[in-house]
């Protein structure tokens, strides 16, 4: 079995096998996957660690192929712990191999300032410079944020992107060219006909991670632990349309380019970064150059908290000696350069009291134990709740109600209860048990044999309905101001709202009958309900809670609907009826025309609209007079979305605008076909600066990004700029 196990992980899988897996349906496939993973993990461990295979090679290969087929058919099922997702391992065979011209190195780590200063001393010694604190003006560092993603190497020939590969084992990586081409920030062509190898990191932005996890939750699947795993899994998809759906991004930080004399074109890391940006590659503007070690320490300090506000994850800072001649003198040892080091941010941990563990019924009936904690600030936000996933997890961590617990954010995003602190127990702590009956509808709770999941089997369980309705009335949906949880619960309990359309049939008298409501507050709520009756088509689509569809996909879908049925959009009221009439006939193939929608989302959307239950939901909304407004300023043409003044542009809004709330400004940008971003980089097309604009305005000026005032912004939206 010497070679075969290496080849098996992620074997190329025949299209027929993927089709066969698809035919099983997602639920059956998920069950089969749950069987396969432990068998393969165990077989792999026995083989690798003990050299004692338990099952024959051929069988192992077959089972692994079956798992890959299932995960290719249903990419939402891929979890970080699947044996198909082993990253950093030898190439798997599913992709072609790429031998790196120069090995892709890794970095040594340091975890505090003392260790970092020790690195500086080693560098000085290596270069024959005096030890600190003596000044060493000829030694300068570049500090870059360390991106927690997947390392990639891109080859450009005469300006054209020809090949991209993962790091693999550093010497040989996987050819993921087709998948990298789906990443919008990676240019197909450089601004100069340069021949070069460029290295960097592919990552999944935090917002995208949240979107995918929300979709998984909705599908009743376990959520991904962090953006890194789901980003890596997304890049190594066999079907690149699936990668395209995941909206990955990238920063580049290394340039290998030989000048006519055979030497490098640039002489330092800072010049290399400037040249990468000039070639049109994405370079992270959040960096600092020309630093001594004290300034490096200040950079770390500055980003320790600031990093939580970035739209992507960073787990540290990479510190590099700037000058290439000095880098060459320092050299490489054990696959890590002596001229660079990674400083890792400590994951911020806090202690708090877990006051309760409450089982929640999700939209799919799954019971999830949730820790309720004394609110505590961690990694940039206040946390009071954290999912404990399932009962097994509660037992494994020995968590008891009333315990002091250690809390952190997994991958700096998701609050996680790390462990209990048994030393602080008083004896008053209690064990948590799952309820025998649904806390909402009292149906007996079910736990399938061999599964960690408890669930309420009642499809009409009000817990499911109330979550669907909360989503409908919530911010990203119809945005009915004042319809919070307590109001919603009362409306459902009293039978005043039985369908979504019923919100629009409520009278002021109905509302006045609610607890703590008076005439005035009832009138106010009625006004906000009326105001929400008209919403952009994208918002109405999002409000429906279509599986796999979040805000961005709803926008993409609305744009496509508008271009597909252009003449029907004249009367705004027509759009709800149009969706009800036309969408049920749309196929998954047609939906894949929508930019940003791949096979997985397309199938989910087509399935949703084909469902008779959906037809009655839509008929009810039409009857209730819900008005979907057509997407703004989209004039259909033969080539899809024309007349989008901001197509392909990225706009950052900063400071306060007189005529727009921040969210309205961003919505206007998206409606005009542009992308609203949160931070300024060289890829930003415009910065719109209002009152009290701060660091983003400064960065725009520094990078030479055009800055507009509010008037300029309006002209831009109108297509006049």
Active site (catalytic) residues: 146
Output DSSP code: residue 585.
G
Near ligand IVH by CB under 6 A: residue from 61, 71, 144, 644? 144
- For residue 499 the two structure tokens come to 């369908």
Distance from C-alpha of 683 to C-alpha of 284, rounded to nearest angstrom: 10
**Range in contact with ligand IVH (rule: CB under 6 A) among 11-19, 334-342, 394-402, 642-650:** 334-342
Report the C-alpha gap between 211 and 204 in whole angstroms. Answer: 11
Neighbouring residues of 143: CB distance < 8 A, sequence distance ≥ 6: 287, 288, 289, 291, 296, 299, 300, 317, 318, 319, 320
Q: Choose one: 102-110, 464-472, 528-536, 562-570; the region binding ligand IVH (CB under 6 A).
A: 102-110
User: CA 502, CA 499: separation in Å to the nearest integer?
Assistant: 5
Pick the stretch among 143-151, 425-433, 452-460, 524-532 that binds ligand IVH (CB under 6 A).
143-151
- Of 333 and 436, which has the nearer Cβ to ligand IVH? 333
Q: Is 317 in contact with 115 (CB distance < 8 Å)?
A: no
Angle at 108 between CA 102 and CA 111, to 5 degrees: 155
What is the smallest separation between the CB atom of 653 and ligand IVH, expressed in angstroms?
27
Instruction: Give the nearest residue (CB) to ligand IVH.
Output: 151
Instruction: Give the residue with the Cβ less far from ligand IVH, 228 or 246.
Output: 228
Q: Is 342 in the site for ligand IVH (CB under 6 A)?
A: yes
Q: Does 253 bind ligand IVH (CB under 6 A)?
A: yes
Q: Applying CB under 6 A, does 276 fall inside the site for ligand IVH?
A: no
Site string for ligand IVH, 525-564 (x = CB under 6 A): ----------------------------------------
Helix, strand, or coil here: 588?
Answer: helix
**Site map 184..223 versus ligand IVH, x via CB under 6 A:** -----------------x----------------------
Please state the separation of Cα 475 from the chain's center in Å: 20
CB 701 within 8 A of CB 693: no
The least distance separating ligand IVH from the CB of residue 145, rounded to whole angstroms, comes to: 7
User: What does each C-alpha distance from 669 to 39, 559, 672 come to in angstroms?
Assistant: 50, 13, 5
Question: In terms of CB distance, is 5 or 342 closer to ligand IVH?
Answer: 342
- Nearest approach in angstroms of CB 199 to ligand IVH is 7
CB closer to ligand IVH out of 146 and 247: 146
Q: Is 146 in the site for ligand IVH (CB under 6 A)?
A: yes
Closest CA to 287 of 627, 295, 403, 565: 295
Tally the residues of the chain: 721
Contact call for residues 146 and 342 (beta carbons, < 8 A): yes
Minimum distance, C-beta of residue 200 to ligand IVH, in the bound complex (Å): 8
Query: Is the CB of 151 or the CB of 180 nearer to ligand IVH?
Result: 151
Which range, of 51-59, 140-148, 606-614, 712-720, touches ligand IVH by CB under 6 A? 140-148
CA atoms within 13 A on the CB side of 633: 19
Tokens 């349906």 label which residue? 25
For ligand IVH, the binding residue among 30, 63, 78, 147 (CB under 6 A) is 147
Query: Which C-beta is closer to ligand IVH: that of 340 or that of 708?
Result: 340
Helix intervals (H) in 51-190: 57-73, 113-127, 177-180
680 vs 529: CA distance, rounded Å:
37
Cβ-based nearer residue to ligand IVH, 282 or 674: 282
Q: From residue 39, give the alpha-carbon distance in Å to each of 33, 43, 44.
A: 10, 6, 8
| 337 forms part of the interface with ligand IVH (CB under 6 A) | yes
Q: Which of 17, 77, 142, 151 binds ligand IVH (CB under 6 A)?
A: 151
Cβ atoms of residues 532 and 478 within 8 Å: yes
User: Taking CB under 6 A as the rule, does residue 171 contact ligand IVH?
Assistant: no
Name which of 102 and 419 has its Cβ closer to ligand IVH: 102
Q: Residue 276 and residue 201: Cα distance in Å, rounded?
A: 14
Of 105-113, 387-395, 488-496, 679-687: span binding ligand IVH (CB under 6 A): 105-113
> Least separation, in Å, of the C-beta of 374 and ligand IVH?
36
Residues that bind ligand IVH (CB under 6 A): 105-107, 144, 146-147, 151, 201, 253, 318, 337, 340, 342
């Amino acid at each position: 079995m010497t070679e075969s196990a290496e080849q098996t992980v992620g074997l190329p899988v025949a299209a027929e096998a993927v089709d066969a897996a698809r035919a099983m349906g997602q639920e059956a496939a998920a069950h089969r996957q749950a069987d396969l993973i432990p068998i393969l993990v165990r077989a792999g461990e026995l083989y690798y660690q003990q050299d004692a295979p338990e099952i024959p090679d051929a069988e192992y290969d077959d089972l692994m192929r079956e798992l890959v087929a299932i995960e290719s058919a249903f990419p939402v099922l891929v979890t970080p712990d699947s044996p198909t997702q082993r990253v950093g391992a030898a190439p798997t065979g599913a992709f072609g191999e790429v031998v790196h011209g120069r090995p892709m190195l890794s970095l040594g780590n340091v975890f505090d300032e003392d260790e970092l200063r020790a690195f500086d001393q080693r560098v000085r010694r290596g270069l024959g410079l005096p030890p600190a604190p003596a000044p060493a003006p000829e030694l300068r560092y570049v500090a870059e944020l360390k991106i927690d993603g997947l390392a990639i190497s891109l080859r450009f020939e005469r300006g054209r992107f020809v090949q991209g590969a993962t790091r693999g084992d550093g010497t040989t990586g996987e050819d993921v060219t087709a998948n990298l081409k789906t990443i919008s920030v990676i240019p197909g062509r450089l601004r100069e006909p340069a021949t070069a190898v460029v290295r960097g990191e592919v990552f999944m932005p935090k917002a995208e991670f949240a979107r995918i996890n929300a979709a998984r939750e909705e599908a009743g699947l376990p959520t991904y632990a962090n953006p890194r795993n789901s980003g890596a899994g997304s890049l190594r998809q066999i079907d690149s349309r699936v990668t395209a759906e995941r909206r990955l991004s990238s920063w580049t930080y290394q340039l290998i380019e030989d000048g006519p004399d055979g030497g490098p074109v640039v002489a330092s890391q800072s010049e290399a970064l400037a040249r990468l940006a000039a070639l049109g590659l994405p370079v992270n503007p959040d960096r600092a150059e020309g630093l001594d070690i004290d300034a490096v320490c200040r950079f770390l300090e500055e980003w320790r908290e600031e990093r939580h506000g970035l739209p992507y994850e960073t787990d540290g800072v990479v510190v590099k000696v700037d000058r290439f001649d000095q880098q060459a003198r320092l050299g490489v040892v054990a696959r890590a350069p002596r001229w660079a080091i990674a400083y890792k941010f400590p994951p911020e941990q806090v202690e708090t009291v877990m006051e309760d563990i409450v089982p929640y019924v999700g939209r799919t009936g799954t019971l999830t134990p949730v820790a309720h904690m004394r609110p505590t600030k961690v990694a940039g936000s206040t946390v009071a709740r954290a999912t404990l996933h399932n009962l097994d997890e509660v037992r494994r961590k020995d968590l008891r109600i009333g315990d002091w617990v250690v809390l952190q954010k997994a991958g700096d995003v998701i609050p996680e209860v790390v462990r209990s602190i048994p030393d602080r127990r008083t004896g008053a702590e209690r064990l948590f048990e799952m309820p025998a009956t649904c806390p909402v509808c009292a149906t007996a709770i079910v736990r399938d044999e061999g599964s960690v999941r408890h669930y309420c089997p009642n499809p009409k369980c009000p817990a499911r309905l109330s979550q669907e309705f909360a989503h409908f009335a919530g911010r990203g949906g119809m945005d009915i101001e004042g319809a919070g949880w307590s109001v919603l619960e009362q409306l459902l309990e009293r039978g005043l709202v039985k369908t979504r359309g019923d919100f629009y049939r409520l009278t002021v008298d109905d509302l006045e009958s609610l607890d703590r409501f008076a005439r005035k507050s009832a009138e106010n709520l009625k006004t906000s309900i009326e105001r929400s009756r008209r919403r952009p088509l994208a918002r109405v689509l999002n409000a429906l809670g279509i599986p796999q569809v979040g805000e961005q996909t709803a926008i993409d879908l609305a744009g496509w609907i508008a271009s597909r049925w252009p003449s029907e959009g004249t009367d705004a009221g027509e759009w709800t009826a149009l969706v009800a009439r036309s969408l049920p006939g749309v196929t998954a193939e047609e939906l894949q025309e929508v930019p940003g929608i791949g096979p997985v989302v397309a199938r989910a959307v087509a399935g949703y609209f084909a469902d008779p239950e959906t037809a009655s939901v839509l008929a009810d909304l039409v009857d209730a007079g819900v008005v979907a407004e057509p997407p703004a300023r989209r004039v259909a043409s033969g080539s899809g979305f024309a007349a989008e003044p901001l197509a392909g542009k990225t706009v950052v809004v900063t400071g306060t605008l007189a005529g727009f709330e921040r969210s309205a400004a961003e919505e206007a940008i998206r409606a005009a076909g542009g992308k609203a971003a949160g931070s300024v980089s060289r890829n930003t097309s415009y910065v719109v600066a209002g009152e009290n604009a701060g660091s983003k305005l400064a960065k725009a000026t520094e990078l030479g990004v055009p800055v507009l005032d509010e008037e300029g912004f309006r002209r831009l939206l109108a297509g006049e700029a």
